[in-house]
Amino acid sequence: MVIPRHDWTLAEVEALFARPFMELVFEAASVHRHYFNPNEVQKSQLLSVKTGGCAENCGYCSQSASFKTGLKAEKLMEPTAVIAEAMAAKAGGASRFCMGAAWRELKDRDTPKLAAMISGVKALGLETCATLGMLNADQARQLKEAGLDYYNHNLDTGPEYYDQVVTTRSYQDRLDTLQHVRDAGMNTCCGGIVGMGESRRDRAGLLHALATLPVHPDSLPVNALVPVGGTPLGERILQEGEIHPIEFVRTVAVARLVCPRSIVRLSAGREGMSAEMQALCFLAGANSIFVGGKLLTTPNPEEDHDAALFRMLDLQPMPLKDSISA
């Protein structure tokens, strides 16, 4: 039995990355099977409930007001429209519905409308998740009371590379929000993005930071950067090339080993991944995906494409009760 640890050293995580690929994936697959059914993958759907105009300067993001990406800022959606989207997501097989807003932090004036969205989605029998920027303790409690199950707040990258990604909020700001979420009794959804020009040590630094949190993330998204023209990191990667598929699979495998009970989500970037690459990711411990043709503002595989992938790999959607208890 693999007992989750919170005392990983950065050197130990780097050593996992350096292991022979076949051995690494085999060990990650073995750990995965101890905690999860390897043939089940959770389906979540993500909706942008407030798009564009964000005050943050995250160097990868099309929604930042700091960059000219051609994306038009929009107002916060009405709860009835969001609930209708959630109904469609449930009909398409999603068990978790995530709502994302392009904000630096949640404003108190928007909390009532968000609470109506959350309670309405919850009433459909779906897990609820939101990503709304930074929260204070009182806001976290209000979201919990509205029925929010998960709050997403990614660390993005390792602490040493962080200032190459964003300078408008600190690493500690992110850790503080996660603490407010935990204190309110909500589950955390926290991961990062790889393929932003960082080193393997930076990827190890991200996973080390996640593995040494007081509680491991309940959901751990591993995103592959989708380079967006007009963003600093997007322009860089369009010139230098994206992360190698095998290195991405290594990252998934190490995430499974250091956070063995977390649901590891294969998140942004799947549109550009082959079926074979996704199969390796599932073998290495990924057991969640976003479904639907759009992921906030970036493309995502369509429903029929994912249905074909599930048939090809003999995968089944993870039952709701299992994803809650994990």
Per annotation, catalytic residue among 61, 190, 259, 281: 61
User: Is 98 one of the annotated active-site residues of the chain?
Assistant: yes
User: Is 104 one of the annotated active-site residues of the chain?
Assistant: no
Per annotation, catalytic residue among 5, 19, 33, 54: 54
Helix crossing, 137-146 with 171-183: angle to 10°?
50
Per annotation, catalytic residue among 96, 203, 250, 265: 265
Per annotation, catalytic residue among 96, 169, 174, 189: 189
Per annotation, catalytic residue among 96, 98, 190, 256: 98
* Full 3-state SS string of the chain: CCCCCCCCCHHHHHHHHCCCHHHHHHHHHHHHHHHCCCCEEEEEEEEEEECCCECCCCCCCCCECCCCCCCCCCCCCCHHHHHHHHHHHHHCCCCEEEEEECCCECCHHHHHHHHHHHHHHHHCCCEEEEECCECCHHHHHHHHHHCCCEEECCCECCCCCHHHCCCCCCHHHHHHHHHHHHHCCCEEECCEEECCCCCHHHHHHHHHHHHCCCCCCCEEEEEECCCCCCCHHHHHHHHHCCCCHHHHHHHHHHHHHHCCCCEEEECCCHHHCCHHHHHHHHHCCCCEEEECCEECCEECCCHHHHHHHHHHHCCEECCHHHHHHC
User: Is 96 one of the annotated active-site residues of the chain?
Assistant: no
How many beta carbons lie within 10 A of that of residue 133, not counting itself? 19
Which residues 6+ apart lie within 8 Å of 180 measured at CB? 135, 136, 137, 139, 140
Per annotation, catalytic residue among 58, 190, 259, 281: 58
Per annotation, catalytic residue among 96, 129, 190, 250: 129
User: Is 259 one of the annotated active-site residues of the chain?
Assistant: no
User: Is 129 one of the annotated active-site residues of the chain?
Assistant: yes
User: Is 190 one of the annotated active-site residues of the chain?
Assistant: no
Contact assessment for residue 148 and residue 130, using Cβ atoms and an 8 Å cutoff: yes
* Residues annotated catalytic, as ranges: 54, 58, 61, 98, 129, 189, 265
